[in-house]
């Protein structure tokens, strides 16, 4: 047992796992040798931080997360740089967003500076797991669950925070090829005052029905419309969304019902750097259809940590099929995909100080 300077105890795994084939990773199918765990209770606050062998938790069947879903999570990635460096992209934005989620779900905030240090320690230890191939990375999943055994509906008095890591390739089977997106007109994702802007598992559990139905129809993902008028575009199942209309990059505003994506923010800042007009405003599905028909819609794409930049080649809405850019990847999506990957791998200038070096 070793103590490092961050009071994180390190217990090394005795047997290391065999690494998977980097060309067959998919998303979230493999997990590294170690994980970070840290506990919270009312008396001690955060304590017992450990990097330990990846393994099962022991939970009481009454653990509150199992009943009332008091759970939050994040997603970020570690990349291999050209000079064998190990890089994180905007990790503090993820940890700050984690604390915003914690506030909304009545969970304890995490000490972001310490957690970033501990995360770097974990990633350094797992550096041989970071895939080198283009488009692949080590996905980092911080999460917190309510572990107190009790059945009253109230904030729990005990939590586990943990970070697991997974070498990943492209999120979608299509890779970077254009996706087909089904505009969901039966189910809704979020309402004002709800938790649509929070990274909590319940949002995703509630989305599975629509997603599964859309997949049965041959679509990659769903596009959510607003819950009140069912006409304003919100976000795709696992990403935010952008449209290029009349040479302006349009994305729905952060109004409490969509996730404040870090890749979304990156896209907005890069586009502004490149002199592209950007606009965060409400946009209806009818406007998108009209723009596709009159030729002013030239591109559509999703943005997210898992999805990176995912071009959209087609929307299905009720009986209509809306084709975008003849079903091909547009030049802006391609440029963003290439430039963001270069940035994340340390191969481009970083004027916004987004990169945090682990090694």
Residues that bind ligand COI (CB under 6 A): 75, 204, 238, 304-306
> Looking at beta carbons only, is 238 or 344 nearer to ligand COI?
238
CA distance 117 to 152: 35
Tokens of 196: 């649509």
Bridge partners, 10 (sequence order): 2, 51
> Looking at beta carbons only, is 292 or 306 nearer to ligand COI?
306
> Looking at beta carbons only, is 197 or 305 nearer to ligand COI?
305
Cβ atoms of 318 and 266 within 8 Å: the answer is no
> Looking at beta carbons only, is 306 or 322 nearer to ligand COI?
306
Q: In the chain, which ranges are E strands?
A: 2-3, 9-10, 34-41, 45-53, 71-73, 76-80, 86-89, 137-146, 158-168, 179-183, 221-225, 233-236, 240-245, 248-251, 277-280, 297-304, 308-317, 320-323, 355-357
Q: In whole angstroms, how close is the CB of 173 to ligand COI at the nearest point? A: 14
> Looking at beta carbons only, is 53 or 194 nearer to ligand COI?
194
Backbone torsions φ then ψ of 135, nearest 5 degrees? 85, -10
CA distance 142 to 73: 6
Q: In whole angstroms, how close is the CB of 187 to ligand COI at the nearest point? A: 17
Q: In whole angstroms, how close is the CB of 261 to ligand COI at the nearest point? A: 8
CB-based closest residue to ligand COI: 75
> Looking at beta carbons only, is 49 or 122 nearer to ligand COI?
122
> Looking at beta carbons only, is 49 or 312 nearer to ligand COI?
312
- Please state the three-class secondary structure of 311-336 as a single string: EEEEEEECCEEEECHHHCCCHHHHHH
Q: In whole angstroms, how close is the CB of 290 to ligand COI at the nearest point? A: 30
Q: In whole angstroms, how close is the CB of 84 to ligand COI at the nearest point? A: 25
Q: In whole angstroms, how close is the CB of 107 to ligand COI at the nearest point? A: 17
Tokens of 314: 């087609």
Q: In whole angstroms, how close is the CB of 89 to ligand COI at the nearest point? A: 12
- Strands 9-10 and 45-53, by their bridges, are parallel
CA distance 205 to 75: 17
Q: In whole angstroms, how close is the CB of 343 to ligand COI at the nearest point? A: 17
> Looking at beta carbons only, is 179 or 325 nearer to ligand COI?
179
Nearest to 239 by CA among 267, 272, 205, 270: 267
> Looking at beta carbons only, is 258 or 306 nearer to ligand COI?
306
DSSP assignments along 50-80, one per residue = EEEES------TTBHHHHH--EEE--EEEEE
CA distance 324 to 316: 11
Cβ atoms of 221 and 214 within 8 Å: the answer is yes
Q: In whole angstroms, how close is the CB of 259 to ligand COI at the nearest point? A: 8
């Amino acid at each position: 047992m070793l103590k490092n300077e961050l009071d994180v105890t390190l217990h090394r795994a005795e047997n290391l796992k065999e690494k998977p084939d980097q060309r067959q990773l998919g998303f979230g199918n493999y997990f590294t040798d170690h994980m970070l765990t840290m506990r919270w209770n009312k008396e001690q606050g955060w304590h017992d931080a450990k990097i330990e062998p990846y393994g099962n938790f022991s939970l009481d069947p009454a653990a509150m997360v199992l009943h009332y879903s008091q759970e939050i999570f994040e997603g970020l990635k570690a990349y291999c740089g050209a000079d064998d460096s190990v890089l994180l992209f905007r990790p503090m934005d993820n940890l700050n967003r984690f604390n915003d989620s914690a506030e909304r779900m009545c969970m304890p905030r995490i000490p972001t500076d310490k957690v970033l240090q501990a995360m770097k320690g974990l990633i350094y230890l797992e550096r041989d797991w970071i895939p080198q191939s283009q488009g692949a990375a080590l996905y980092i999943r911080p999460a917190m669950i309510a572990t107190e055994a009790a059945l009253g509906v109230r904030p729990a008095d005990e939590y586990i925070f943990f970070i697991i890591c997974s070498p990943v390739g492209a999120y979608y089977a299509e890779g970077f090829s254009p996706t087909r997106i089904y505009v969901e007109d039966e189910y809704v994702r979020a309402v004002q005052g709800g938790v649509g802007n929070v990274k909590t598992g319940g949002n995703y559990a509630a989305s599975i029905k629509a997603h599964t139905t859309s997949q049965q129809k041959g679509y990659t993902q769903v596009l959510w419309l607003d819950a009140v008028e069912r006409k304003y575009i919100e976000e795709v199942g696992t990403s935010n969304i952008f449209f290029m209309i009349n040479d302006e990059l349009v994305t729905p505003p952060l109004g409490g019902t969509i996730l404040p994506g870090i890749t979304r923010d990156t896209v907005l800042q890069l586009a502004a750097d490149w002199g592209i007009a950007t606009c965060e405003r409400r946009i209806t599905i009818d406007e998108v259809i009209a723009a596709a028909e009159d030729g002013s819609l030239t591109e559509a794409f999703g943005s997210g940590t898992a999805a990176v930049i995912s071009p959209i080649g087609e929307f299905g809405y009720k009986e209509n099929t809306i084709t975008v850019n003849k079903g091909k990847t547009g030049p802006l999506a391609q440029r963003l995909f290439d430039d963001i990957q270069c940035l994340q791998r340390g191969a481009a200038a970083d004027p916004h100080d987004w990169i945090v070096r682990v090694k």
